[in-house]
Chain A
Amino acid sequence: EVVLVESGGGLVQPGGSLRLSCGTSGFTFSNYEMNWVRQAPGKGLEWLSYINTFGTTVYYADSVRGRLTVSRDNAKNSLYLQMNSLRAEDTAVYYCARKSVVPAAEFDYWGQGTLVTVSS
């Protein structure tokens, strides 16, 4: 069974940092491209970042470029998101999502999400 589990969310002050993790099991993690997506309370989905299988190619949404860094450790079957200079508008549930190997299909499995709250 494919499982993705996010962790590392919590309450952080504006300007602070947080590192999210996404642990995976049930599939060969190193064969899959991965993404981070977030959802602010009561709002829609927002794609944040992509990373290829080797971790050598990354992309970011304009809204977070320069403040977020995605990385992965294939030996640990884990994906990470380092978030710096956090703002109130970064308050959201953060999901990791696996990109399907089926052409033109995107996120076939998602984690349950981890809540990040940015507040003083």
Chain B
Amino acid sequence: QSVLTQPPSASGTPGQRVSFSCSGSNSRFGSYDVNWYQQFPGAAPKLLIYSNIQRPSGVPDRFSGSKSGTSASLAISGLQSEDEADYYCAAWDDSLSGYVFGSGTKVTVL
């Protein structure tokens, strides 16, 4: 069972705002710097958000991250068909000396 829990799916129509969570199952979640990755079928993941809220250069500002308490969230505003992908949250856990991934959320554009 993953340390980070995500809903298996999320959906919305073009132009809508969709958001989904990444919940931590341990007391260390508050210290996590949560990263989000986007992955298309058959492709490598791409870093979308780091340090909970930061976007790497080139990532559209339609993507935004947040974190509060034991949960982090990724929001996609102005949903587009090309946003249909799998999204994973992740974080380095100092206590585990390891990186933990969430179970992934599949976003479908209706």
Chain A residues packing against B (C-beta within 8 Å): 35, 37, 44-47, 50, 59-62, 95, 100, 102-108, 110-113
Beta-carbon contact of A47 and B100 below 8 Å: yes
Beta-carbon contact of B51 and A103 below 8 Å: yes
Name which of B10-18, B21-29, B76-84, B90-98 contacts chain A. Answer: B90-98
Beta-carbon contact of A106 and B98 below 8 Å: no
Chain B residues packing against A (C-beta within 8 Å): 2, 33, 35, 37, 39, 43-47, 50-51, 54, 56, 86, 88, 90, 92, 97-104
In angstroms, Cα B85 to Cα A105, docked, is: 21
Beta-carbon contact of A45 and B56 below 8 Å: no
In angstroms, Cα B92 to Cα A102, docked, is: 14
Beta-carbon contact of B47 and A105 below 8 Å: yes
In angstroms, Cα B52 to Cα A103, docked, is: 12
Beta-carbon contact of A47 and B98 below 8 Å: yes
Beta-carbon contact of A105 and B45 below 8 Å: no
List the 6 closest A-B pairs by CB distance, nearest first: A105-B50, A104-B33, A104-B51, A47-B99, A110-B44, A44-B104
Name the B residues within 8 Å of A102 (CB-CB): 50
Q: How far is the CB of A7 from chain B (nearest CB, A)?
A: 15
Specify which of A35, A47, A103, A113 lies most central, judged by the most chain B CB atoms within 10 Å of its CB: A47
Name the B residues within 8 Å of A44 (CB-CB): 2, 86, 88, 101-104
Name the B residues within 8 Å of A61 (CB-CB): 98
Beta-carbon contact of A45 and B90 below 8 Å: yes
16 contacts between A and B (CB under 8 A): A35-B99, A37-B99, A44-B102, A45-B88, A46-B101, A47-B99, A47-B100, A59-B97, A60-B98, A100-B47, A100-B50, A102-B50, A106-B47, A107-B35, A110-B46, A111-B44
Nearest residue (CB) in B for A106 is: B35
